[in-house]
Structure 1
Amino acid sequence: MSSENLYDYKNIFSVSYILGDKLNTETVALENHQDVAAPDYGFDFYAPQTYLDDNGKRILVAWIGLPEIDTPSTKFQWAGMLSIPRELSVRDNKLIQTPLEDLKQLRAETQKVSGDIELTSRSFELEFETSEDFTLELKNEAGESLLFAMTEQEFKLDRSNNSHIYAEKYGLVRLAPRTTKQQTIRLFVDRSVIEIFINNGEHSMTSRFFIQDMNQLSLSKNLTALLYPLNPISGLEQ
């Protein structure tokens, strides 16, 4: 699929969804359906699968990485990874993705952060609310960075200043529409992957990025957030 607007279907293999009342198995038609929509506006959201858990929740897990694109990690025999699990729901005829509640068990001590922060861990969650434009950067001491920003109209994720640049012919910037003024944003980072939940769960921006020795987080002056270093899943008690 392709689109002439700034946002939709900019990856070589894009994901879309469609909501309807039910599938008519005789006519193979989705009855009373909405328009086709995109759930994710990042670089690397691919082949999502869902399942029902024991509590009846519909859970989505996606592949992070696209066919025909080799990341810098490929030479070390790491081809890709899976997303964090996301609970799906429907709100105002939109598919909503919410990080699974159980992920909060990974949180270490809570830190209230603003300005420039030295990272003690490259695996963390960041959460904040805002209605104002902002910028957020993940950086190293050489100034190489990943930029995430919001304006009145849109979000931007820019990996053109990464330490390791790849897939340039497919673009180094992704944009997403801003659909609500007040935003609750959750952002998960684990070394070379970022999963950002925007528009209060209506969309996500899922991407790989490669910053050598990343150790800094920089927030614009108007932004204060809660930062949670994340413990490894293997450290959780059963």
Structure 2
Amino acid sequence: MSNKFKPKFHFSCPKGWMNDPNGFSFFKGEFHLYYQHNPEDTKWGPMHWGHATSKDLLHWKEQKIALYPDSSADNEGCFSGTALIENDCQYLMYTGVSKDGSENIQQQCLAVNDGEKISKFSDNPVIRTSDVKTEFCKTDFRDPKIWKDGNTYYCAAVIKKTDNNGAIALFTSTDLINWQYKNIIAETKGEMGGMWECPDVFKLDGKDVIIVSPQSVKADSEKGFHDGNNSVYMTGTLDMDKAVFTPDVRPENNFTAAELDYGIDFYAPQTTEAADGRRIMTAWLQAWESYLTPEGNDWSGMMIMPRELVIKNNCLIQKPVSEYEKMVENLPFLSGFIYKNMTARFTKDNYPQCDLTLIARIPDTKAENPDNEQFTVTVSDDKGGSVDLNFDSNKMELSFDRSNSINNGGAINRRSVAVTASKNKLVTFRFIFDTNSCECFINGGEKVFTNAYFLNKNVRKITIDSSLTYGLNFKIINIK
């Protein structure tokens, strides 16, 4: 397929399969993004680490493959991990998968990037299954997050306990080579899925934050969880001496965790600190449960546009990185007002990339809010394909429907997110469309709703239909 089908400002691999981001970090003046990669197929297979670099988080330069599954410690796969920058080197800790009889066991390995080449430690793994001093399944011990505090190195990795529930185990070291098990700092007892994946641990705005991706979650509208794989965060306090995390209880639902993104296509987020101190997050913009890649495509998988994170009232606020804001601030735009029962159309050849802001005022009373109080944003191609984003002010819900796109939008093609109005009865939706995705930032990033889709790559148009009594303010920026 033509590269016109590829995203414009979301990273995608040049060929083959891509999933979780790995080793996301700022090193030697550039952002480095590694990722789970099968170079030989557009489906998951032998896991390598792909590698790309960027100056601005929007335009990426592909580098050669960083890690191959070619040693005794990782010959069944180089799974996910993270990076630590120290002594002018980038230390990469990753999960090596190897055979133990008939089983694939998972242990933690180390590699070093000195800026010229990446070398694996000769005596991998550095954290072995025998180092874990609690009962667990050796086949599920992965995704190390490493950092340093004072003179101590820390590693948080996920394990599956013998009751099939997930947990985060903490290890410490003084040299990155010899590690000691400390404690379980967070776990599920079935209330937040089964096995957990891809932990991240960091400080932000005076809080300790843990991010994790639980599997096998049961849908819970009060908590905001959907069936299957989710990605959540917890704020609180991590006592490093006792290796105990005390999470904050969220007042809206008396629970300790909240979704990071309410869309279909968001998983395995990972953060890094930029040189200017910003906490920046990326994630895989795809879902395990719903394979979308069109037949004949030679690439599969992309990342979200990186987001800046801040904490406000224990809520993680996500916004597009400032590099993106600088890119669009001087681009041509249209703004105006869409009245009740009015349709607005925007058409452009090869047009999928735009930044659309809609501000809706919610009626004050039930009498003013009949069932047809809604708007719909439709992206359509010239072959009859389309995707819809619909806001229903009666339900206070934004929904996404890709069932009329290529492959009928995959096994999961619809999802909704609850929306809350501000004190002045306004709701702000910022839809950022790239070739194959839409990231919606609701009320300035209080919630985010990310979904992928594939449409025909020829002429596209965006249509906005509104039946809202008070209409819609709009601003649309063409991203060239």
1:20-43 CA deviation, whole Å, 9 max, x = no partner? 1x2123152225443211121111
Quick one: which amino acid aligns to residue 227 of structure 1?
Answer: I
Of 100, 110, 131, which residue of structure 1 is paired with 2:361? 131
Q: 1:72 aligns to what SS in structure 2?
A: coil
Q: Which residue is 2:28 aligned to?
A: none
Q: CA deviation at 1:54?
A: 1.7
- Cα distance in 2 for partners of 1:61, 1:196 equals 15
- The amino acid of 1:47's aligned partner reads A
- Residue 61 of structure 1 and its aligned partner are, at CA, apart by 0.9
Q: Residues of 2 paired with 1:208 and 1:6: CA distance?
A: 25
Cα distance change on mapping 1:31 and 1:219 into 2, 3 Å: closer
Give the match for residue 206 of structure 1. Answer: 450
Task: Give the secondary-structure state (helix, strand or coil) at the position aligned to 2:450.
Answer: strand
Aligned residue among 329, 332, 344 for 1:109 = 332
Aligned to 1:164: 407
Greater radius of gyration (CA) = 2
How many pairs are equivalent? 228
Tell me the equivalent position of 2:478: 229
Match of 1:45 in 2: 266
The question of 1:17 aligning with 2:233 is answered yes
Other structure's SS at 1:48 match:
strand
User: How far, CA to CA, are the matches of 1:66 and 1:173 in structure 2?
Assistant: 13
* 8 Å CA contact retained: 2:294, 2:406: no
Query: Structure 1 residues 86 and 176 mapped into 2: Cα distance closer, same or farther (>3 Å)?
Result: same
Structure 1 residues 222-231 or 174-183, which shifts more? 222-231
User: Deviations for 1:179-206, whole angstroms, at most 9, x for unmatched residues?
Assistant: 2242222111111111111133111111
State whether residues 40 and 204 of structure 1, in contact with CA within 8 Å, keep that contact through their aligned partners in structure 2.
yes
Aligned counterparts of 2:380 and 2:346: Cα–Cα separation in 1: 10
The corresponding residue for 2:302 is 81
Instruction: Give the structure with the larger strand fraction.
Output: 2
Task: Provide closer, same or farther for how the CA distance between residues 164 and 129 of structure 1 changes in structure 2, counting only shifts above 3 A.
Answer: same
Which is bigger in relative contact order (C-alpha 8 A, separation at least 6)?
A: 1
- DSSP-derived class of the 1:102 partner: helix
Contact 1:2 1:8 in 2 (8 A): no
Aligned mates of 1:105, 1:145 — CA distance in 2: 30
Which digits, 9 at most, give the CA deviation of each residue in 1:185-234, with x for residues without a partner?
A: 21111111111111331111111111213511111243342111223xxx
**Other structure's SS at 1:82 match:** coil
Q: 1:31 to 1:77 in 2, by over 3 A?
A: same
Give the AA of the match of 1:163.
Answer: I
Instruction: Tell me, in whole angstroms, the C-alpha distance in 1 between the residues paired with 2:443 and 2:275.
Output: 28
- From 405, 411, 427, the equivalent of 1:183 is 427
Q: CA–CA distance in 1 between the matches of 2:327 and 2:313?
A: 31
Instruction: Give 3-state SS (helix, strand or coil) of 1:179's partner.
Output: coil
Change over 3 Å in CA distance of 1:214–1:95 after alignment to 2? farther
Q: 1:7 to 1:43 in 2, by over 3 A?
A: farther
Residues 53-100 of structure 1: per-residue CA shift (max 9 Å, x gap):
122111111111133643224742212111111111112221110111
Q: Which SS does the other structure have where 1:14 is aligned?
A: coil
Cα pair 1:7 1:174 within 8 Å, conserved: no
Structure 1 residue 118 and structure 2 residue 333: aligned? no
SS for the counterpart of 2:406 is coil
Deviations along 1:144-195, one digit per CA (max 9) or x if unpaired, are: 2111111222111111121332432xx3210101122422221111111111
Check the 8 A contact 1:42/1:206 in 2, yes or no.
yes
Deviation at 1:8, TM superposition (A): 3.1
Higher mean Cα deviation, 143-152 or 186-195? 143-152
Distance in 2 (alpha carbons) for counterparts of 1:7 and 1:139: 33
Say if 2:385 is the partner of 1:144: yes
Structure 1's 202 and 3: CA in aligned 2 closer, same or farther, altered over 3 A?
A: same
Deviation, structure 1 residue 111? 2.1
RMSD: 2.3
Structure with the higher helix share, 1 or 2: 1
Instruction: Tell me what 2:463 maps to.
Output: 218
- 3-state DSSP class of the match of 2:325? helix
Closer/same/farther in 2, CA of residues 90 and 55 from structure 1, 3 Å limit: same
* Partner amino acid, structure 1, of 2:451: S
Residues 126/166 of structure 1: CA separation in 2 closer, same or farther (3 Å cut): closer
State the 4+ residue runs in structure 1 displaced beyond 6 angstroms: none
Amino acid at match of 1:157: F
CA distance in 2, matches of 1:80, 1:11: 21
- In structure 1, list runs of 5 or more residues that go unmatched: 232-238
Unpaired segments ≥5 residues, structure 2: 1-216, 251-255, 339-343, 363-373
Query: Structure 2-normalised TM-score?
Result: 0.44
Match of 1:67 in 2: 288
> Could you tell me whether the CA contact under 8 Å between 2:402 and 2:409 is conserved in 1?
no
1:57 to 1:90, Cα distance in 2 relative to 1, 3 A = same
Letter in 2 for 1:24: D
